[in-house]
Amino acid sequence: MNVNEGAGGVAAAGGDPGVRGWLRDAFARRPGWMNALMLFCAFMAFVYVPWDFAGKPLAVDEEVWFGVRLHGGWAKATEPIHLVIYACGAYGFWHMRPWLWPWAAIYAGQVAISMLVWPLLYADEVGGSARALLVGLVSFAAFSALTAALWRAKDRFRAGRPRLRDRYGAWALVTGASSGIGAAFARSLAQEGVSVALCARREDRLRALASELERHGVETRVVALDLAAPGSVSRLVTAVADLDLGIVVNNAGVGDAGRFEHQDAARLRAMVELNCITPMLLTRALLSRLHARGRGAVLFTGSQAARQPLPLHAVYAATKAFDGFLGEALWAELRGTGIDVLVVEPGSTETECQQVAGELPHAGQAPEEVVAVAWDRLGRQPSVATRWWHWLRGNAVMRLLPRSLLVLLAMGVMRKQTPIERR
Ligand SMILES: NC(=O)c1ccc[n+]([C@@H]2O[C@H](COP(=O)([O-])OP(=O)(O)OC[C@H]3O[C@@H](n4cnc5c(N)ncnc54)[C@H](OP(=O)(O)O)[C@@H]3O)[C@@H](O)[C@H]2O)c1
């Protein structure tokens, strides 16, 4: 693979950055017959099956499973299963997810057998047994060919992404590397042979992490800075000026739980500086260097908090919305330049963040999981939710609910995570 391409074959430098280019790249990931299958799955999942389920009278509803026809209530009851299968198919083909193999082939094989059984069971309607056998065999042959093609396509679903060092270069900068998601980013980069510049305030933590990373045979540089302080971005840019940076991870961030009017104004200002101004200025300062190399990656650690206003975390959610909008817009601006941009949007993650923000402890995912999703999706899309139900909540439920209800529901959730004295 050309190192100017993202893992998903994203446009090489100089490619068409518009919608046409995006579509071309998206469909170039698989052969034509598989694109057709993906579109068929999408049509079934989002148009036909919902229409069938909601619009067709019960009396005339009919579904075929393993060649056997189901009618009325039985047919209706099994339609959601069809919907889930086709939706998984559309999603799986779109992202070429590894789990689609061997399930797509097994499902197509089951359809092939159904297509043989179906006309034989209902031979009278097809025009007699001889004709039913012929129809069954022809359909069986067609679906068997599809089954074989899906079976043989194993490598397409298993194609791993190139190593980060091969894809983007020798050095990365990670802000907020002294704990949590930033430390996990740094560890995963070192495991893939990328040397890392580590930035945060706690120098002792950064030095300990640097020694750990160097065991992977990479170099490190520790830059201890308060990134909410004036002039800190320039100092950081100067501190890494001699490094061949290929990856910039804008990760440092803090929250502050509580009712807005009780929050400390200086702390809120520092949060906006750290969460918004710093990643904006740092990215702007380093972009010309990535452009000069013709390849690179810029990541922003956003949050699910960006997907709706969060009472009792009002300013934090607003800062994360800023990061999300900034990163997604840059993704579009930089498409075709060889620079990939991704906003990774975790939900609750088990780091020091909750404690620093003054929240009540609550369960979350591991930072390593967040990082794995980010590397997997980088170069393929502008932003990513780190769990599928976060995606569903952020992109379906929250967009459909009236804003009043949405914000009040969020208030209910945040109350449970906020100590009484801060509510
Ligand atoms: N944990 C979650 O539930 C969650 C969910 C969604 C998004 N996020 C986002 O994930 C990112 C990483 O947070 P985390 O969960 O890994 O929390 P964390 O463990 O508290 O890490 C925050 C990092 O930011 C650094 N930092 C804080 N203030 C700084 C400052 N003024 N200057 C420089 N560095 C500073 C901290 O280092 P020092 O204290 O040493 O400076 C630390 O390395 C944040 O942007 C956060 O908003 C977290």
The mean pLDDT value for 184-209 works out to: 98
pLDDT over 60 at 3, yes or no: no
- Sequence spans of domains, the chain: 19-158, 164-422
Q: Which is catalytic among the residues 56, 122, 316, 416? A: 316
Could you tell me the pLDDT band of residue 15, with boundaries at 50, 70 and 90?
low
pLDDT tier at 161 (50, 70, 90 boundaries)?
confident
Residue 11 pLDDT grade (very low, low, confident, very high; cuts 50, 70, 90): very low
Q: Are 7 and 162 in contact (CB under 8 A)?
A: yes
SS3 state of residue 64: strand
CA angle 350, 353, 355 (to 5 degrees): 95
The residue whose C-alpha atom lies closest to atom 36 belonging to ligand 1 is 176
Ligand 1 pocket, 287 CB below 6 A? no
Instruction: State the average pLDDT over residues 12-19.
Output: 66
Catalytic, 316? Answer yes
Contact 256, 268 (CB under 8 A): yes
DSSP track, 339-359? EEEEEEE-SSBSSSHHHHHTP
For residue 142, give Cα distances in angstroms to 42, 64, 116, 139, 154.
21, 18, 11, 5, 20
* 204 CB near ligand 1 (under 6 Å): no
Task: Tell me the pLDDT tens digit for each residue of 398-414.
Answer: 889 999 999 999 999 99
What confidence score (pLDDT) does residue 17 get? 75
pLDDT tens-digit readout, 38-53: 999 999 999 999 999 9
pLDDT at residue 342 tops 50: yes
For 49-68, write each residue's pLDDT tens digit. Answer: 999 999 999 999 999 999 89
Looking at every residue in the chain, the average pLDDT score rounds to 94
| 346 touches 303 (CB < 8 A) | yes
Residue-wise pLDDT tens digits, 312-336: 999 999 999 999 999 999 999 999 9
DSSP one-letter string for 373-407 = HHHHHTTT-SEEESSHHHHHIIIIIHHHS-HHHHH
Tens digits of residue pLDDT in 93-107: 999 999 999 999 999
pLDDT of residue 2: 33
Ligand 1 binding pocket includes 386 (Cβ within 6 Å):
no
Question: Which pLDDT belongs to residue 8?
Answer: 38
User: Residue of the nearest CA to atom 1 in ligand 1?
Assistant: 349
Q: Is the confidence at residue 9, as pLDDT, over 70? A: no
Region 264-286: what's the mean pLDDT? 98
**Catalytically annotated residue among 76, 86, 168, 320:** 320
CATH class assigned to 164-422 = alpha beta
Packing angle of the helix pair 32-43, 72-95 (nearest 10 deg): 140
Is the CB–ligand 1 distance for residue 278 below 6 Å?
Answer: no
Residue 76: active-site member = no
pLDDT digits (tens, 9 = 90+) for 74-128: 999 999 999 999 999 999 999 999 999 999 999 999 999 999 999 999 988 988 9
Beta carbon of 374 within 6 Å of any ligand 1 atom = no
**Number of the ligand 1 atom closest to the C-alpha atom of 206:** 40
251 CA distance to ligand 1 middle (Å): 7
Residues 142-160 pLDDT 10s = 999 999 999 999 999 987 7
